[in-house]
Amino acid sequence: MSINKILQVRGMSKRFGDLVVLDNIDIDIPIGSHTTVIGKSGIGKSVLLKCMAGLLEPDAGIVEIDGKKGSFPHCSYMFQQNALFDSFNVFENIALPLRETQTLKREEIREKVEQIIEKLDLNSATYKYPAEISGGMKKRVALARALITNPEIILFDEPTTGLDPLRKYGVFDMISTYRKKFGFTVLMVSHDVPEVFEITDQIAWLEGGKIAFWGTPDELYADTPAPLKPFLNPKLETSL
């Protein structure tokens, strides 16, 4: 077992009918790092994340965390649309994993939830329902719910979908800031190229079911693979 890699994917494959989405993929995510998976829409980025989180059963391959196969004891997942429970208020949403998976007393749960609400500046929304708060706040609530169990890894599935540029940078800033603050590892799927390069340590480019590029943003810019160039600098084929 390697010491400086906590998440190891080996030989992961997934197909839907005849469509091969993941083809024998190997990935190593170093401790505390931020890795972003980029690629065209529908290429299988979210499938990769869901296979890693156990939401989809891969056809082949193993996932190891600290050498433990298959399970993610210290992993949280942030969904594209946040997946907050709309009939629970913010406090209840954040407390949910603690209430349901741990044997803490009511006061201990309250204390932990209030701490994270304080850290993520959600005081004004504590007893509001998801429908009553802004999109940015919903993201923070989802992050608070992901952080409340002190995960080592958080998987982000397109966390900036549908946000304007200002809010998009706000979310990136939030992820970057809290990663430094809480020390978790980030594996993110994103379409926000090149903005996401400002906060990520590694980039994995998924193409044709394979990781076609793996490296830092600097390495990517220094030696961009030819097929990736149009993806990084898209141009209109027709001019007005």
Partner 1 sequence: MIYKLGNNGIKLISELGELTLFALSSIKSFLPQNHRLEKIVRAIYEIGVRCVPITLIVGLFTGLVLGLQLFYVLTKFSSESLLGQAVALSIILEIGPVFTAIMIVGQAGSALSAEIGIQRNAEQIDALSTMKINPIGFLVSPRVLAALICFPILTAAFNIIGIWGGYLSGVAMLGVDSGAYWTRIFESVSGQNVADSMLKAFVFGFLTTLVCAFQGYYTHIKASVPGSRGVSETTTRAVVISSIVILAADFVLTSFLLVR
192: its two tokens: 């926000």
Nearest approach in angstroms of CB 109 to partner 1 is 11
Q: Edge-to-edge strands of the sheet including 5-16?
A: 19-30, 5-16, 60-65, 68-69
Gap between the Cα atoms of 240 and 238, Å rounded: 7
41: its two tokens: 């829409």
Segment contacting partner 1 by CB under 8 A, of 9-17, 37-45, 92-100, 113-121: 92-100
Distance of CA 129 to the CA centre of its chain: 24
Nearest approach in angstroms of CB 77 to partner 1 is 4
Given candidates 103, 222, 235, 239, which one binds partner 1 under the rule CB under 8 A? 103
If binding is defined by CB under 8 A, does position 126 make contact with partner 1?
no
Given candidates 96, 163, 174, 212, which one binds partner 1 under the rule CB under 8 A? 96
Q: Between 50 and 89, how does the x/- string for binding to partner 1 read (CB under 8 A)?
A: x--xxx-------------------xxx-xxx-xxxx---
Nearer of residues 85 and 221 to partner 1, judged by Cβ: 85
DSSP 15-77: EETTEEEEEEEEEEEETT-EEEEE--TTSSHHHHHHHHHTSS--SEEEEEETTEES--TTEEE
Site for partner 1, rule CB under 8 A? 50, 53-55, 75-77, 79-81, 83-86, 96-97, 99-101, 103, 145, 149
